[in-house]
């Protein structure tokens, strides 16, 4: 195993000793909302949104469509999207502009391709061309830079992208594809967080880089259904994932750690059989925050904008099961707490912060709305 980067090791040593698991499942929704929500556009089962530096955004639809969207709601379809196996949780998933987008116009996207039994998760990159001929853009020179091995699986693909603060590495979540035991198999790209270069290669300073293959790509293991991944302002990497029947999690991701699925969980199997709790197996990293009852977390973004200064440093998570937006706060020592929850009347699939500081949401529905949140006007 190669040495872990100094900053990551320091984070590991200073946070693990202080973190404690907290159950936020019974948190009650706030009776008032500090924001006003405006519908800007609607989509066919939208899955992810990401902002470009100029304030326009990219929105994916799970059936395999991609749009460039203005703040006013004008939608430009983007062509040359790869074929997807759109079924259940599978299809066109995440989209993220390159850390160097203003220079290279590169975007990264994940999708489940119609290869193998149940489809295979792919990570690709392409140039976003916006000549706006006939009101359309397109993806040029698309290259698959990583593919799930072994192929195939069920749902729970993961596929969430996050770049490190330096913009030199890409982190990718891979769900267990409904094959729980594979999350503990170091040679299967399931139930993992991977860390690769911007070309999709294993980072040479990964915890087990010398082993090659999936082991060399792996940053953390033992995950179930991870649909939120983001770096906090202090450089810490956080992930949320759905548990089985109970036990949704928010985890501080540390290099080389095992988060226990399916050996431990704060939930139980859908057939009613019990799973040992995290407290019984301290060798596995326990979640900082978990939810019983569940919220089905999806999307994760840290707020650093100016429109809601009281929220700086907070994280926002969509709650699919509770039709809510959830705010989480942190103490810098690996501890987290759900601070507020607002009922939104629909399943929230993804959250993002615009360059101007507005908070944007997409709903998991057909049609699913794109919403812009700005500060509510004080009562007159």
**pLDDT band for position 100 (50/70/90)?**
very high
DSSP 216-241: HHEEEE--SEEEEEEE-TTS-EEEEE
Residue 49: C-alpha distances to residues 37, 92, 160, 182 (Å): 17, 12, 11, 29
Go through 114-124 and write b for each residue having 16 or more CB atoms within 10 A of its CB, e for each that does not: ebbebbbbbbb
Query: CA 156: distance to chain centroid?
Result: 12
Residue 354 CA to residue 138 CA, distance in Å, equals: 23
Contacts of 74 (CB under 8 A, 6+ apart): none
Give the SS3 label for residue 10: helix
| Angle value at C-alpha 334, between 174 and 336, nearest 5 degrees | 85
pLDDT tens track for 150-203: 998 999 999 999 999 999 999 999 999 999 999 999 999 999 999 999 999 999
Provide the token pair at 255: 């290099």
Contact 314, 329 (CB under 8 A): yes
Give the SS3 label for residue 129: strand
Supply the mean pLDDT for the chain: 94
Provide the token pair at 154: 């069920």
Domain boundaries, the chain: 6-375
Quick one: 6-375 is in which CATH superfamily?
Answer: TolB, C-terminal domain (2.120.10.30)
Closest CA to 252 of 234, 279, 264, 276: 234
Q: What is the rounded average pLDDT of the residues 61-85?
A: 97
Q: What is the rounded average pLDDT of the residues 293-304?
A: 99
Q: What is the pLDDT of residue 17?
A: 45
Contacts of 115 (CB under 8 A, 6+ apart): 85, 151, 152
Asked if the peptide bond before residue 2 counts as cis, ω within 30 degrees of 0, the response is: no
Provide the token pair at 293: 């009852």
Element (H, E) at 215: helix 213-217
pLDDT tens track for 328-348: 999 999 999 999 999 999 999
Say how many residues make up the chain. Answer: 380
pLDDT tens track for 7-57: 444 444 444 444 689 999 999 999 999 999 999 999 999 999 999 999 999
Residue 1 CA to residue 8 CA, distance in Å, equals: 15
pLDDT tens track for 198-242: 999 999 999 999 999 999 999 999 999 999 999 999 999 999 999
Contact 78, 66 (CB under 8 A): yes
Spatial strand order of the sheet with 289-291 comes to: 22-23, 289-291, 248-253, 237-242, 225-231
Q: What is the pLDDT of residue 8?
A: 45
pTM: 0.94
């Amino acid at each position: 195993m190669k040495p872990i980067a100094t900053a990551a090791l320091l984070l590991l040593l200073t946070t693990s000793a202080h973190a404690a698991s907290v159950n936020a499942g019974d948190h009650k929704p706030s009776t008032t909302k500090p924001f006003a929500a405006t519908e800007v556009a609607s989509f066919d089962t939208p899955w992810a949104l990401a902002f470009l530096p100029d304030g326009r955004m990219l929105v994916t639809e799970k059936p395999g469509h991609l749009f460039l969207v203005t703040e006013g709601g004008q939608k430009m379809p983007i062509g040359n999207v790869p074929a997807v196996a759109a079924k259940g949780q599978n299809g066109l998933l995440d989209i993220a502009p390159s850390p160097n987008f203003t220079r290279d116009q590169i975007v990264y996207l994940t999708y489940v391709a119609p290869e193998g039994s149940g489809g295979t998760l792919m990570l690709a990159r392409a140039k976003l061309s916006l000549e706006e001929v006939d009101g359309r853009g397109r993806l040029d020179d698309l290259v698959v830079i990583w593919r799930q091995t072994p192929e195939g699986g069920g749902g729970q693909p993961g596929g969430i992208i996050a770049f490190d603060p330096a913009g030199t590495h890409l982190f990718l979540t891979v769900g267990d594809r409904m094959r729980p035991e594979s999350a503990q198999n170091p040679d299967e790209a399931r139930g993992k967080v991977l860390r690769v270069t911007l070309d999709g290669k294993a980072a040479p300073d990964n915890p087990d880089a010398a082993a090659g293959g999936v082991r060399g790509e792996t940053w953390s293991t033992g995950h179930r259904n991870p649909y939120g991944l983001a770096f906090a302002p202090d450089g810490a990497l956080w992930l949320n994932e759905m548990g089985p029947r109970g036990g949704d999690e928010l985890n501080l991701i540390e290099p080389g750690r095992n988060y226990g699925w399916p050996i431990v969980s704060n939930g139980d199997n859908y057939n009613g059989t019990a799973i040992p709790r995290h407290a019984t197996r301290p060798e596995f990293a326990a979640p900082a925050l978990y939810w019983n009852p569940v919220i089905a977390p999806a999307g994760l973004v840290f707020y650093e904008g100016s429109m809601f200064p009281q929220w700086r440093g907070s994280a926002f998570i969509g709650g699919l099961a509770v039709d809510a937006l959830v705010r989480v706060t942190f103490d810098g020592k690996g501890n987290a707490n759900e601070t507020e929850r607002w009922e939104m009347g629909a399943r929230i699939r993804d959250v993002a912060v615009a360059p101007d500081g507005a908070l944007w949401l997409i709903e998991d529905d057909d049609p699913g709305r794109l919403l812009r949140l700005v500060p509510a006007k004080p009562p007159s």
